[in-house]
Amino acid sequence: MLRDSGAGSRDRVISRRFSSLLALVVAVTASACADALNPDTFVEPAIIIFVRDTARITVPDTVARDTPFTVRVRTFGGGCTRKTVRADVRTSANVIEIRPFNERFKSQVCTADLAYLEHAVSVQIPTAGIATIRVIGEQSLAGGSTPNSSVELTRTIMVR
């Protein structure tokens, strides 16, 4: 008759416990990642001022009248905000209003990082003179711990 010395038995118990622990870790990880694999998202105005840093607005100093040019707005993301969605543009005389929007995941767990999300829009101005580019978005004062407020950044350009 063969008898178990006890060492193999302990190894099997430890192995079963490890397997159970590993299965629990995999289950928790899978459920935490479920939001990322099947996201529930919403669209929100882009953050254009984060604490004391402002969005970068790239636009030519001088443009030709009635000729398309590109305005680029680098907004702030990170955490659960990872993707640009759209930028609504309205032109009135020599004022161009740009409202960028980003997509945010509805999640209990978000990373604590800062990312830049760039919006690019093609616009044109019909009349010569000084024109104003207005970018309207939101300001985050403390990285999400206080409610965001609506803000505006402006740039002026010359239209020839």
Same-domain pairing of 60 and 3: no
Same-domain pairing of 29 and 50: no
Same-domain pairing of 45 and 93: yes
Contacts of 53 (CB under 8 A, 6+ apart): 76
Residue-level pLDDT at 106: 86
How many separate domains does the chain show?
Answer: 2
pLDDT tens, the chain, 160 aa long: 555 556 666 666 556 666 665 555 444 444 444 445 555 888 999 999 998 899 999 999 999 999 999 999 999 998 889 999 999 999 988 999 999 999 998 877 888 889 999 999 999 999 999 999 999 999 987 655 667 889 999 999 999 9
The domain that holds 72 is classified in CATH as: 2.60.40
Same-domain pairing of 28 and 50: no
Same-domain pairing of 54 and 27: no
Same-domain pairing of 72 and 147: yes
Same-domain pairing of 64 and 107: yes
β-bridge partners, 72: 58, 120
Same-domain pairing of 123 and 59: yes
Same-domain pairing of 10 and 47: no
Residue-level pLDDT at 74: 97
Residue-level pLDDT at 75: 96
Same-domain pairing of 72 and 150: yes
Residue-level pLDDT at 6: 61
Residue-level pLDDT at 34: 47
Residue-level pLDDT at 35: 45
Contact 76, 104 (CB under 8 A): no
Of 130, 129, 126, 147, the residue nearest 138 (C-alpha): 147
Task: Decide: helix, strand or coil at residue 69.
Answer: strand
Contacts of 40 (CB under 8 A, 6+ apart): 105, 106
Its domain, for residue 122, covers: 41-159
β-bridge partners, 156: 132
Distance CA 24, CA 20 (A): 6
Model's pTM, two decimal places?
0.72
Same-domain pairing of 79 and 11: no
Same-domain pairing of 53 and 79: yes
